[in-house]
């Protein structure tokens, strides 16, 4: 969370806005995706332009993040789970 506070201070000094990436190793980002959504939105407020979830799922297997049987359907299910967690926490719609 220190990074988020530093980002907020930078925004105060130079009016910077931010995109922030959510780690995506498991469907719920190891149980922290909802907290990351909540804290990022709470700390950065109006300076948060958007959040990014997941990147290059076709490389997850090659990078040892998922098994070789990880499919596009698994990816869509995992990202939906993270989004629903965020909605349940009231951090997005």
pLDDT tens-digit series, residues 27-44:
444 567 777 888 898 999
Phi, psi of 85 (to 5 degrees): -60, -45
Q: Which of 8, 3, 82 is nearest to 45 (CA)?
A: 8
Q: What is the pLDDT of residues 42-86, one digit of tens each?
A: 999 999 999 888 777 778 888 887 888 888 888 888 888 877 777
Beta bridge partners, 24, equal: none
E strands, the chain, in order: 18-22, 48-53
pTM: 0.71
CA distance 58 to 78: 14
For the chain, give every domain's residue range.
2-88
* Radius of gyration of the chain, Cα coordinates, nearest whole angstrom: 15
């Amino acid at each position: 969370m220190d990074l988020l506070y530093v980002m907020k201070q930078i925004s105060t000094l130079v009016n910077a806005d931010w995109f922030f990436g959510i780690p995506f190793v498991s469907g719920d980002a190891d149980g922290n995706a909802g907290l990351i959504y909540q804290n990022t939105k709470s700390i950065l407020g109006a300076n948060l332009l958007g959040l990014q979830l997941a990147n290059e799922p076709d490389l997850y297997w090659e990078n040892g993040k998922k098994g070789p049987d990880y499919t596009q359907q698994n990816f869509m299910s995992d990202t939906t789970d993270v989004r629903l967690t965020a909605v349940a926490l009231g951090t997005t719609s």
